């Protein structure tokens, strides 16, 4: 059955509204943007006939009733464009409305007929009298506009009726007044499209991952939140924005893992951080040796004073000692013999962990309880959550949970820790995760890095997938770091900090920690299973280098985004070159980063690179080194440079016009 006028659909009513951009999977998932950035919408809008079309872009927050609207303007070949700037974060919907502009259509025809009569020397008033009455009738039918519009319409209509002056019917002020006031009998609205507007931290940030229980300065002693506070000046001095804690909850004793993931724990072994839950509580409790909830609140406040935000690791899994197993045994699966079904990823087994059953008969209560865990920590000042292995849980659960929380707390950021198949990772990003882990950790060759970044910055990925480049994690010590060479650590963190708006390191990276389990990409003596004590000023550390990178990021808007990235054709497979520019185009940064330990002289081509100035776009004339302040002239469209990784594995330049 055909759609009637006013029904929602791409071809509802009299108009076709097609090829709407941006939209994700036909509008199934939200497009992502930042608060304060103009949100631009394009669409093909057309109908049969010669009448003039009018269109508006309409939008509102999901929980609001009233629509806001702005006119769309036509461009070539029935392509229309409109934009608005959201002034607060949150979940939005937007749509396009189109209708026939009766007054503009009448006016266009009226003016053509009047001119034709005048050109032929005929009496225009007599010849187009009926057309004038049609226009006057349109004026009298207008009724939905503002008082100012109504006054303009009544005034011009009366002037025509009193004097017969045809110019009164086409007065310039009537264009806007009638546009907002006349009936829209054939109004057609597109379907509604979802939109998520985030705060800047959803895109940009330097993350420092820390294991709180390993922050004590006394060997073998369990760390406290007070020890974490003592470390804040050091972390802040390196320029990080986000302090991300691994799980801080009580740890179970049943089937507790020993050091290096041993099946049997020795006396005094603290257990795996991810075996969450014990007699002291579950996901909304704190490990007693870390401190109290009041101590945690003090830590959050101390972080704020150092320009740091706290991120918490949420792992949706339980130790066999978690209170939920006694309170809600039906939330968990059991084997045919009645024994507990432990977590596993065959052939691996995790005897110290059990997974909730999202499809149990009481699934609604389970989902609510997990949602309440997030709300609990939000109540204690946390606005960033890293989700452990979200791809192993139902997608519809995450879509519901993230949507529900962001309606109440639109400033909350969710990071998906999922190293899995590409479509699963992208699927998580589509359904609501603010940021995503990536394959950057394993991209080491020039062609791999360039092709991967080109994938992340193309359409439609750039509209929903926000990368966070972690150089290492507690689970991953990549092979290229296992040599412990300082130049490689510097090169990898420079690549991460330069290519992606968000990146992170796991504590110990700055100390060049690199001892692996032989033949595996895992740390030997992993602090997931034991407490470590470190000298955070150990000789040979690269803390100053990381601080310089983060300082360059904070001083250059071009480095705080991932969209505007282009690789430069450096004729050397051991050097990655790229140019990034701010949205305004007034900050342009060029980078050249080594992928091998050998020194190289090379040509840095800058053809097509331009910097916005008050006089307009200009080709840069000088490169300013962001780390040293040294300047290099640009001649013949580029610069001849030398890169010695043993001294400096990355060259970062600001382009000066």
Give whole-number Cα distances, 138 to 95, 143, 148, 224, 406, in Å: 27, 10, 17, 76, 46
Helices (H), 39-163: 102-119, 124-127, 129-141, 147-163
Contact yes or no for 21/43 (Cβ under 8 A): yes
Q: How many CB atoms lie within 10 A of CB 35?
A: 17
Tokens of 498: 């330069």
Give the gyration radius of the chain's Cα atoms: 31
**Catalytic residue positions?**
388, 417
Cα 43 to chain centroid distance, Å, stands at: 24
Q: How many Cα atoms sit within 13 Å of 255 on the Cβ side?
A: 18
Helices (H), 120-211: 124-127, 129-141, 147-163, 173-181
Rounded CA-CA distance 472/509 in Å is: 8
Residues forming beta bridges with residue 616, ordered by sequence position? 613
Give whole-number Cα distances, 426 to 24, 421, 432, 462, in Å: 11, 9, 10, 11
Rounded CA-CA distance 27/134 in Å is: 41
Cα 184 to chain centroid distance, Å, stands at: 38
Contact yes or no for 501/562 (Cβ under 8 A): yes
Helix/strand/coil for 14 = coil
């Amino acid at each position: 059955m055909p759609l009637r006028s006013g029904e929602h659909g791409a071809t509802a009513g009299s108009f076709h509204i097609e090829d709407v951009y941006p939209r994700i999977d036909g509008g199934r998932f939200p497009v992502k943007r930042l608060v304060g950035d103009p949100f631009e919408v394009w669409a093909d809008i057309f109908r049969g006939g010669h009448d003039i079309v009018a269109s508006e872009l309409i939008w509102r927050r999901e929980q609001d009733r009233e629509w806001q609207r702005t006119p769309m303007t036509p461009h070539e070949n029935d392509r229309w464009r409109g934009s608005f700037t959201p002034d607060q974060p949150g979940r939005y919907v937007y749509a396009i409305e189109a209708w026939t502009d009766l007054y503009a259509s009448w006016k266009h025809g009226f003016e053509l007929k009047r001119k034709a009569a005048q050109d032929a020397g005929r009496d225009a008033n007599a010849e187009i009298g009926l057309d004038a009455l049609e226009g006057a009738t349109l004026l009298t039918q207008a009724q939905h506009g503002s008082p100012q519009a109504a006054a303009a319409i009544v005034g011009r209509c009366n002037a025509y009726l009193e004097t017969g002056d045809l110019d009164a019917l086409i007065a310039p002020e009537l264009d806007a007044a009638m546009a907002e006031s006349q009936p829209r009998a054939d109004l057609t609205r597109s379907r509604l499209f979802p939109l998520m507007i985030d705060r800047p931290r959803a895109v940009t940030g330097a993350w420092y991952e820390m294991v709180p229980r390993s922050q004590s300065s006394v060997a073998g002693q369990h760390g406290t939140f007070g020890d974490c506070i003592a470390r804040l000046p050091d972390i802040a001095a390196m320029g990080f924005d986000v302090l991300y804690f691994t799980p801080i909850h009580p740890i179970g004793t049943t089937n507790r893992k020993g050091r290096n993931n041993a099946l049997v724990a020795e006396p005094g072994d603290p257990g795996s951080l991810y075996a969450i839950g014990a007699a002291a509580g579950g996901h909304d409790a704190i490990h007693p040796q870390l401190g109290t909830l009041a101590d945690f609140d003090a830590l959050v406040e101390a972080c704020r004073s150092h320009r740091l935000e706290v991120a918490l690791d949420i792992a949706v899994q339980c130790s066999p000692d978690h209170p939920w197993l006694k309170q809600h045994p039906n939330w968990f699966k059991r084997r045919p013999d009645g024994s507990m079904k432990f977590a596993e990823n065959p052939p691996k087994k995790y005897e110290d962990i059990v997974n909730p059953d999202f499809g149990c008969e009481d699934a609604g209560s389970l989902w609510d309880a997990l949602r309440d865990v997030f709300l609990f920590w939000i109540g204690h000042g946390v606005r960033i959550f890293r989700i452990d292995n979200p791809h192993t849980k139902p997608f519809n659960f995450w879509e519901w949970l993230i949507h529900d929380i962001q309606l109440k707390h639109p400033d909350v950021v969710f990071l998906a820790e999922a190293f899995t198949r590409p479509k699963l990772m992208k699927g998580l990003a589509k359904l609501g995760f603010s940021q995503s882990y990536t394959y950057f950790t394993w991209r080491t060759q020039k062609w791999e890095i360039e092709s991967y970044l080109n994938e992340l910055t193309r359409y439609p990925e750039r509209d929903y997938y926000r990368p966070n480049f972690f150089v290492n994690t507690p689970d991953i010590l990549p092979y290229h770091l296992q040599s412990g060479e300082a130049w490689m650590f510097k090169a990898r963190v420079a690549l991460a900090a330069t290519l992606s708006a968000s990146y992170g390191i796991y504590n110990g990276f700055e100390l060049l920690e690199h001892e692996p389990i032989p033949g595996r990409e895992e740390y030997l003596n992993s602090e997931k299973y034991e407490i470590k004590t470190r000298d955070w000023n150990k000789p040979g550390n690269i803390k100053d280098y990381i601080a310089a990178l983060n300082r360059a990021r904070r001083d250059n808007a071009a480095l705080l985004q991932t969209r505007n990235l282009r690789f430069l054709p450096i004729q050397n497979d051991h050097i990655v070159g790229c140019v990034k520019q701010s949205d305004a185009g007034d900050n342009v940064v060029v980078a050249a980063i080594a992928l091998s330990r050998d020194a190289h002289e090379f040509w840095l081509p800058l053809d097509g690179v331009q910097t916005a100035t008050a006089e307009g776009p200009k080709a840069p004339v000088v490169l300013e080194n962001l780390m040293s302040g040294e300047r290099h002239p640009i001649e013949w469209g580029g610069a001849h440079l030398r890169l010695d990784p043993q001294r400096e594995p990355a060259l970062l330049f600001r382009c000066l016009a």
